[in-house]
Amino acid sequence: MPRDLAAGMHDLSFATTEFVLPHTVLAEHNGTDIAKYHVGIGQRSMSVAAADEDIVTLGAAAAAPVIARHGADRIRTVVFATESSVDQAKSAGVYVHSLLGLPTATRVVELKQACYAATAGLQFALGLVHRDPAQQVLVIASDISKYEADSPGEATQGAAAVAMLIGSDPALMRVEEPSGLFTADVMDFWRPNYRDAALVDGQESVTAYLQAVAGTWKDYTERGGHPLEEFAAFCYHQPFTKMARKAHRHLLNTCGYDTDEERITRAVGQTTAYNEVVGNSYTASVYLALAALLDQADDLGGRSVGFLSYGSGSVAEFFAGTVVPGYREHLRTGAHREAVDRRRPLDHAAYRALHARSFPADGGDHPTPEQTTGPFRLAALRGHKRVYERR
């Protein structure tokens, strides 16, 4: 297999939830100065899943336009990345495979490593394409972030899914070698099997993230990666959008550059538009940043974009992508903006009711209220089995 085969992202689509909670509503409830949210963490609202939405319905909604445009004949693998898994054994991707009517001759797996897993899926997909350039891989990143009510993490909640079609001769972005890698065993964010809501040490998480920024960049440069000044923009994992600015400031410091705000804005300013209104979508976050960049920036054809994918615990990767000339003809800008704009605002009581909702564990027949207007819904939990339907 020729090592110079161009492989990367052929299509990119995202979906989010039926509902949205503005941070003004949260601030009014808990008496917080709204500047703490709008300025302090860089968030304006957060997507909230309906009773009949979950990572499967979001993932299928993100992937359906990709299948509609390209068909499924060349898709031999589906990789579903999530840290909001609905089953300890069965991949959420198998449900998506069924909802989308994909061929039976498909391998489907689920990957987990906090918010990093979608990048692992991307890299695994590239390996499959290099082995067989005729095939394509559907990588889906789908998560619903949930923290305890009135906890410090509550304001960073969110939900979204991104679907990426990976193949040879990509229309959007070629993924380049090398990658810079970093792993460290830290307890900055975790969710034991017996808990619905994650646990987080906020300060430790920021420290671990910045340590990973420096560690991945060191490995990337030692392996012959691009110098910093060759990148047109940087897409960072955004647990909150202010973190992208913190991360890039740290990278500039690591490289001995000035860290003026204008320089940081040029690097990350067009990557935060979707994350600041969707909230933390975990595995999908860094690729929502890419969607925002491509949908807003002047022509980036032929330019390099840097990616820092971070997953607590922790695993991180820095890699580069080259935007393909003519990529704008393949964007889904209108659909992405519609996905954000169509969400229905919640008041605080309605949000709390959804936040507290969970299925009984008795194996009975538990239908869900019809709330979503999206193309797929979780209809019921019946005999411990999740029942999905197309709308």
Query: What amino acid positions are annotated as catalytic residues?
Result: 83, 115, 237
pLDDT at 34: 98
Contact between 149 and 161 (Cβ < 8 Å): no
Q: At what angle do helices 348-356 and 23-30 cross, to 10 degrees?
A: 90
User: CA–CA distance from 120 to each of 81, 110, 202, 333 (Å)?
Assistant: 8, 11, 24, 26
pLDDT at 125: 98
- Tokens 């198998």 -> residue: 94
pLDDT at 79: 98
Tell me the CATH class for 7-390.
alpha beta
pLDDT at 70: 98
Residues in the chain: 391
124-129 long-range contacts, CB within 8 A, separation 24+: 124/79, 125/77, 125/79, 125/164, 125/166, 126/7, 126/8, 126/166, 126/175, 128/76, 128/77, 129/5, 129/7, 129/166, 129/167, 129/168
Q: What is the pLDDT along the chain (391 residues), one digit of tens a residue?
A: 445 689 999 999 999 999 999 999 999 999 999 999 999 999 999 999 999 999 999 999 999 999 999 999 999 999 999 999 999 999 999 999 999 999 999 999 999 999 999 999 999 999 999 999 999 999 999 999 999 999 999 999 999 999 999 999 999 999 999 999 999 999 999 999 998 888 888 889 999 999 999 999 999 999 999 999 999 999 999 999 999 999 999 999 999 998 899 999 999 999 999 999 999 999 999 999 999 999 999 999 999 999 999 999 999 999 999 999 999 999 999 999 999 999 999 999 999 999 999 999 999 999 999 999 999 999 999 999 999 999 9
User: CA–CA distance from 363 to each of 23, 171, 197, 298 (Å)?
Assistant: 36, 46, 22, 53
| Tokens (6 digits) for 288 | 């929502």
pLDDT at 1: 41
pLDDT at 258: 87
Tell me how far apart the alpha carbons of residues 50 and 373 are, in angstroms, rounded to a whole number: 10
Cβ-based neighbour number of residue 374 at 10 Å: 21
pLDDT at 254: 95
Contact between 51 and 368 (Cβ < 8 Å): yes
pLDDT at 3: 56
